[in-house]
Structure 1
């Protein structure tokens, strides 16, 4: 899920917090804002810069998991303070869970900075515990003067799109070079410089094979709607759609040993929420940084090879049939453009892979393998509660095996 935390951009345009109406989200944010010891945070930041005085800018960035403030130093430098909000989900607010999440994110960022040239804001300090003087887990990092996709309507103007997709492809290919022996999160650095892997929240692990991962996903993943919500969303099509949705996870489990072209490792590092929503760009959509790594994990190539959220398309088999012509071609101009963008992205990935010394094409192969790629997209949509005829996609996969 995209956090839209605005965590590394200039302070203009942060309107989400101020525009929130009264309700659970606003109440949580107001209570958190009042509970944080902001003076302690400023003292901490000043100490990190050898006593350079600082203040908080008035703007407040707010996402699903974090509150963000800009720390302005007297010498003109700016840092971002990213503070973790209390969880809305039961069981996720335990101190050990919060601490593990922050450590996992920090370790992943260190790994990416070490092995790639992907632009990531430098972290100056991290505090994992909520019982610190600031009274919340926080991270202090460089502030990048740009905008995230949520501020830009999640779209790229045509004049900048080709260059932006090339930049996105370059980052995706660089991530494909970070290979780990198992499927799982990054939890610690070993004494020899290698990285220790741990379980994926909600799934377990680490896993030795993609088959194990897909079986765990099938056993533990629930559709992102309650039964009542699903029935209401389906309307008159409930009799067809509900069984189709209900059987999807079980089908993934049955097909687990056929879903990956590369069942054994090494496995690439998945960002977990890769797309314009977590990319910082300048006014011409040049990529300045990639943020929000807390969902990252090493995963199967098919999961890694899903299109960035910016380019994601509901698989035609799942989508409403009236969105396509009788020959299977998309009807709307927007959908036609999205398919063309996907083709352009695959080509950009191939070109970037060709320029690498290893000349390995695992990513472009995964993106272009529609049978498996669309299943990976469907798995994410299932978790997010996207209504559709999932069984048709399963039937399509089996018939083409």
Structure 2
């Protein structure tokens, strides 16, 4: 008898962490309350109808900021994923209508992409039960039933992609950049989310769909890149000021950074040259939303709720290879093998160069097929607008680095360093105190 037995494929739930890593800011209690209120039997019964077979639901689950996922498995090992809406994020100021619009746009986006593109891997949507539907009421929350894949997120496999063998990095980045370039080939005259789609009407671009905790309001559609970035900046500032008023001990640079970003958008030419047509972008294309198999092949890209047509400058180096330091600081670390950050920095720089190279290759492939991009993302990645946009998104995420990130914004936006940069930040800090006080009163 041959011993060459194919290894049993591992379903995603075998790596799902359930409550792990949620012990902060009341988030575990939010999940526990959700689990106590959800009717898993209702989800299982619906999945059984779709699968045409009895189904069982996984005990482990995967949770994000907005959704919780369960596996629903038939006896023959076919399976679906129930993506169930969590209660509103505690830091979100979105209305219920905003939340519903967000989900509506995600459903429309998935339908549009499946109808128009075959090279972008995304799950098939079998069912969507919106808030207020009979099945959503029975289950205790709005939910989707989507295609299940034998794969796990790249984040679950390895947080630090730059520590993988170069050949593996090359394989991952080839797929990653080809996917984004393929999406970017779809362009629109407006900036916004796909609010509706049918094969008769095509995609309809509506307001930006968001339940974002960074504070961007539901607004648009926008006709210029500059108007879009102004709205993003205003949302980030409003969110930062709200957090500062509720926590006066928080890092002052968590507030100053978004304010400086807003000033750069308003006062400089950096974002005013953002031109259409506007490309389609996933907007959250990080390692947490890429599903891979054991050989690092992409099997699906998930979480399309923030996808939209967008200015080209929103493209920036992703986690875990962000470009957050000045070129000078990076060079100093690279030229000093004894520096404590030398090893990580050299590997991150190498991964960034490879990522950009793969974008160039993906863009050339589109050109050969007669479908060139209107702008080169590989070139955009090195521009000031991309770097600034990527930086401000890390403030409040990279805890303890708010000051460093803020001064890098000042350098990129105004060319100020040393005492001049300190004076600029100090002056803005004095102005901010008045804004916070006014908001409290």
Q: Per the alignment, in what secondary structure is the counterpart of residue 137 of structure 2? A: coil
Query: How big is each residue's C-alpha offset from its partner over 1:151-204, in whole Å with a ceiling of 9 and x where there is no partner?
Result: 124123214111111111111111111212211111112674321122223241
Contact 1:280 1:289 (8 Å CA) reproduced:
yes
- Structure 1 unmatched runs, 5+: 1-7
Whether the 8 Å contact between 1:350 and 1:361 is mirrored in structure 2 is: no
Partner of 2:307: 296
Of 277, 281, 290, which aligns to 2:288? 277
Q: Does structure 2 retain, via aligned residues, the 8 Å contact 1:84–1:137?
A: yes
CA distance in 1: counterparts of 2:63 and 2:333, whole angstroms:
45
Deviation at 1:365, TM superposition (A): 4.5
Change (3 A) 1:345 1:323: closer
Structure 2 CA distance for partners of 1:9 and 1:328, relative to 1, 3 Å? same
Question: Contact 1:314 / 1:378 at 8 angstroms: preserved in 2?
Answer: yes
User: 1:127–1:370: structure 2 CA closer, same or farther, 3 Å change rule?
Assistant: same
Q: Tell me, yes or no, if structure 1 residue 377 matches structure 2 residue 378.
A: no
Residue 351 and residue 361 in structure 1: after superposition, are their counterparts in 2 closer, same or farther (change >3 A)? Answer: farther
In the alignment, is the contact (CA less than 8 A) between 1:218 and 1:249 conserved in 2?
Answer: yes
Alpha-carbon deviations, 1:196-237, whole Å to 9, x = none?
122223241110010111222232322658448696547xxx
Distance 2:324 2:354 in 1: 18
Counterpart contact for 1:108–1:186, Cα < 8 Å: yes
Q: Is this contact kept in 1: 2:80–2:147, CA < 8 A?
A: yes
Mapped contact 1:323–1:332 kept (Cα < 8 A)? no
CA deviation string 1:214-262 (max 9, x = no partner): 222232322658448696547xxx7xx975664332222223x542654
Tell me which residue corresponds to 2:67: 66
Instruction: Say if 1:89 and 1:151 are closer, same or farther in 2 by CA, change over 3 A.
Output: same
Distance 1:327 1:298, change over 3 A: same
1:210 to 219, 225, 229: 225
Residue by residue over 1:81-129, the C-alpha shift from the partner in whole angstroms, topping out at 9 and shown as x without a partner, is 1101101236657543332222111111122223331111111111111
Structure 2 distance, partners of 1:20, 1:360, is 40
> Given that residues 111 and 197 in structure 2 are in contact (C-alpha distance below 8 angstroms), is that contact kept between their aligned partners in structure 1?
no
Is the 8 Å Cα contact of residues 353 and 361 (structure 1) preserved in structure 2? Answer: no
Alignment match, 1:334: 344
Measured in 1, the distance between the counterparts of 2:334 and 2:159 equals 30
For residues 150-299 of structure 1, what are the structure 2 equivalents within 5 Å? 150-156=155-161, 157-158=164-165, 159-189=167-197, 192-200=200-208, 201=210, 202-203=216-217, 204-222=219-237, 226-227=243-244, 233=251, 246-255=259-268, 258-259=270-271, 261-263=273-275, 265-299=276-310
Deviation at 1:79, TM superposition (A): 0.5
Aligned: 1:393 with 2:409:
yes
Residues paired across the two proteins, number: 381
Would the alpha carbon gap of residues 58 and 174 (structure 1) be closer, same or farther in structure 2, given more than 3 Å must change?
A: same
| In 1: Cα distance, 2:28 partner to 2:384 partner | 42
1:135 aligns with 2:140: yes
Taking a change above 3 Å as real, the CA distance of residues 314 and 63 of structure 1, as seen in their structure-2 partners, is: same
**Counterpart contact for 1:92–1:98, Cα < 8 Å:** no
Closer/same/farther in 2, CA of residues 315 and 182 from structure 1, 3 Å limit: farther
Deviates more, 1:215-224 or 1:78-87: 215-224
Aligned-residue CA RMSD in angstroms?
3.2
For 2:26 and 2:333, the matched residues in 1 are separated by 46
| Rg (Cα) greater in structure | 2
Q: How many angstroms does 1:396 deviate by?
A: 3.5
Instruction: After TM superposition, list the pairs within 5 Å mapping 1:15-34 onto structure 2.
Output: 15-17=17-19, 21=23, 24-34=26-36
- SS of the equivalent of 1:311 reads coil
Structure-1-length-normalised TM-score: 0.84
CA distance 1:118–1:260, change in 2 (3 Å): farther
C-alpha spacing 1:295/1:230, structure 2 compared with 1 (3 Å): farther
After TM superposition, the score normalised by the length of structure 2 is 0.77
